[in-house]
């Protein structure tokens, strides 16, 4: 069983939203069906196995693609574990995203230390984040330019670009 950000009933735009939705749903059941660790597995190793790519993606292991997500440990103060922190994370809790081993998105301080190349500042919900296109193989553009191009192309097809993130109240 896998969790991914493409399930219409939740309407979320990203994996953090899906994990949060699944966790809240799970908690409303008379008896919880899944642990937070089960839910994280459904978003990492299970999908990789389902598509036959478990030797390349889905876990932190030698010879795997070095994609990494670091989330602020918000559960520690209340005795919750790291899986709980991930299933309850918000866009503001994202400390760092690495794609193929390259720092691509995250808190400005971490990105200034780890990013190779030009970065751009984004305001995500109530937090300042930094993005870098340095890992791209094509000449990098800016986030705003890329976003505008995508929006124009989708509008020509009668569609709109989804928001980058969903911010809580």
DSSP, collapsed to helix, strand or coil, labels residue 23 as helix
7 has a pLDDT exceeding 70: no
% of the chain with per-residue pLDDT over 90: 58
Q: What is the mean pLDDT of residues 143-165?
A: 86
pLDDT band at 9 (very low <50, low <70, confident <90, very high): low
Q: What is the mean pLDDT of residues 113-120?
A: 86
Q: Which two tokens stand for residue 109?
A: 């301080």
Q: At what angle do helices 36-43 and 15-27 cross, to 10 degrees?
A: 150
Q: What is the pLDDT of residues 18-63, one digit of tens each?
A: 999 999 999 999 999 999 999 999 999 999 999 999 999 999 899 9
pLDDT at residue number 167: 77
DSSP output for 67-129: -EEEE--TTGGGT--HHHHHHT--GGGEEEEEETTEEEEE-HHHHHHH--S-EEEEEETTEEE
DSSP output for 46-65: HHHHHTT-TTTSSS--TTS-
Q: What is the pLDDT of residues 62-85, one digit of tens each?
A: 999 888 999 999 998 899 999 999
d(CA 130, CA 71): 15
């Amino acid at each position: 069983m896998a969790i991914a950000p493409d399930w219409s009933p939740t309407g979320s735009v990203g994996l953090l939203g899906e994990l949060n939705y699944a966790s809240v749903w799970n908690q409303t059941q008379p008896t919880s069906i899944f642990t937070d660790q089960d839910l994280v597995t459904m978003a990492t190793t299970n999908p990789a196995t389902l598509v036959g790519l478990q030797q390349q993606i889905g876990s932190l292991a030698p010879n795997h693609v070095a994609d990494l997500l670091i989330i602020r440990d918000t559960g520690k103060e209340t005795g919750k574990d790291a899986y709980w922190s991930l299933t309850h994370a918000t866009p503001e809790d994202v400390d760092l995203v690495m794609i193929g081993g390259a720092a691509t998105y995250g808190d400005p301080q971490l990105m200034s230390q780890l990013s190779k190349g030009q970065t751009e500042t984004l305001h995500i919900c109530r937090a300042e984040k930094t993005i870098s296109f340095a890992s791209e193989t094509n000449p990098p553009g800016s986030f705003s330019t890329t976003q505008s191009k995508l929006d124009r192309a989708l509008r020509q097809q009668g569609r709109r670009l989804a928001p980058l993130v969903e911010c809580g109240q």
